[in-house]
Each structure stands twice: as structure tokens, then as C-alpha cells.
Amino acid sequence: MLDCYDIIIIGGGVAAASAVLTAKNRGKTVAVITNGEETSSLYRAERITNYPGLPAMSGKEMSEVFRRQIEENATDLIRGRALNVMPMDEVFGVAVGNDFYQCRALIIAAGITRENLYPGEGEFLGRGVSYCATCDGMLYRGKTVAVIGSGHEAAEDADFLESIGCTVIRMRENGKYEIKGGLKANAVVFRGEEQAVDGIFIIKDTVSVTRLVPSLVYENGGIVTNRDMSTSVPGVFAAGDCTGKPYQLAKAAGEGNIAALSACEYLAAKK
């Protein structure tokens, strides 16, 4: 791991793959933070027939191609979920669980990330609701916790919490959960049934971009960008579905390429 990368890319789909290829060709050090290709939109697509240069294939097969390209071209591939981005003087800090990475420019290629908080989630965040078992698990040793989430990371976090002595209620179904409590969260309601708990870990595949980088301007379901894919935060670029419609592979790849070129220009101007 480097102390500070030229560029960190958050994502792992086609926009991230396109950005990493261009940034690498421009001689930049690049870390890609991704929670796995199986969480990308593409992975769910049955058959892709409109991507130039590749024959018709399943989304899963195409995801594999992009994953390999990212692995082969990134300076470092960091598996995990970026939880937040902290702008600090000339660099950005990105938290992934308990780890922290730094870069001089950032590309967000996180796909569609919706705000959609469960009722009570925002209110009790930090008061019984956590997004990170590694960070907060020890607080709940010997206690009962709920882990809400259907993905791979949610399952791993539930295993981890059990291993440190928590009683874990796994809530893997998709649907509307409600968090209840007083001073602290103390119950989860799902389909009218209330479960008493001491803590609640909400492990979604993504973090909404407004939480990831709070000062970003976000409108009509997308990060607002200029034609060079720069955002309202200097040094932060965005590409792919996270910038809004159309939600299409070719558009995401093109934006990833532009975002990487613009990030390189931004870095050159800073020297």
C-alpha cells in the first residue's frame, strides 16, 4: 500500500474499469476500492447486446472481464466498502472499515446509490445504529445485535460479530425495516414484527453518495458534473450511473475515461 495514491477510484464496474485503464496509461498510481463485481448493476443483466467491441454475453461474464482488467491495472485493489471521504488540505482520506487511504484526486464510480434510509436509521446513527462491524463491534460484545443486509459483506460482518461474542439476528431479506428506540436504538421492526436488540448494523452494498462526500451537489438522482466529469468539490470526479441517466454501459465507460483524463490534468496543474 502507498502512503498516498495519485487517484483513488470508488467502484468496481465498467466506469471504474475504464477510469483505471486510462489513469494507468497516464502513469498514475491508482487504488480501486470495490465491494465486489457481484454487487454491480451489470452482474444482474441477463444479456448485453449493445456494448461496442464485445460480443453479446451475460452481465456476469462481462463483469468478469472488467474485474480482471481492474485487477491487472490498478496499483492496489482494496476490497471493501468506502464509508466516507474526508477532504484534508491537498489530499483526500477515504475510510474503509478501520483502514484509511489517501489520494490526491478521487473518482466516484459507485453506480446507482440511493439515499433511501430506513425510518429511524439517520436518527439513531451513532446511537445504536452502525454501518461498520469492525469499527463498532466490540461495543456490543455479549449483547444482541441485528445485522441488516443481504450481501456478502453483511454475512461476513455477522460471522465476525458472532466470533467476538455477540448474539446475532441476521436480517437478510430485502424490504422495509424500521429502527425504534429512545435515547438509543433498541428494536427493529420488519413486517410488523418487533425484535428487541442492543445494536443494529446496517450493511448495504453501497453508501449513498451524499453520505460518502457530504459536500457534493446531487440532483435528480445523480452527482452534478461538468463536461469534464468534475464535481462541485475540486479534485473529485464522478463517472457512470452515479452521475444520472442514461444508465448504460457505454455511457459509463466514456465517463470513466473522461474522469480519469480530467483527474490527470487536475494533478498536473497542482504540481
Footprint on this chain of ligand FAD (rule: CB under 6 A): 10-16, 33-35, 39-42, 44-45, 48, 50, 81-82, 109-111, 113, 205-207, 212, 240-241, 247-250, 252
* Closest separation in Å from C-beta 231 to ligand FAD: 15
* Closest separation in Å from C-beta 37 to ligand FAD: 6
Q: Which CB, 180 or 251, lies closer to ligand FAD?
A: 251
Q: Which CB, 54 or 164, lies closer to ligand FAD?
A: 54
Q: Which CB, 102 or 248, lies closer to ligand FAD?
A: 248
* Closest separation in Å from C-beta 189 to ligand FAD: 27
| Residues sharing a CB contact under 8 Å with residue 105, sequence separation 6 or more, in sequence order | 6, 7, 8, 92, 235, 236, 237, 263, 266, 267
Q: Which CB, 16 or 166, lies closer to ligand FAD?
A: 16
* Closest separation in Å from C-beta 39 to ligand FAD: 3
Q: Which CB, 238 or 264, lies closer to ligand FAD?
A: 238
* Closest separation in Å from C-beta 33 to ligand FAD: 5
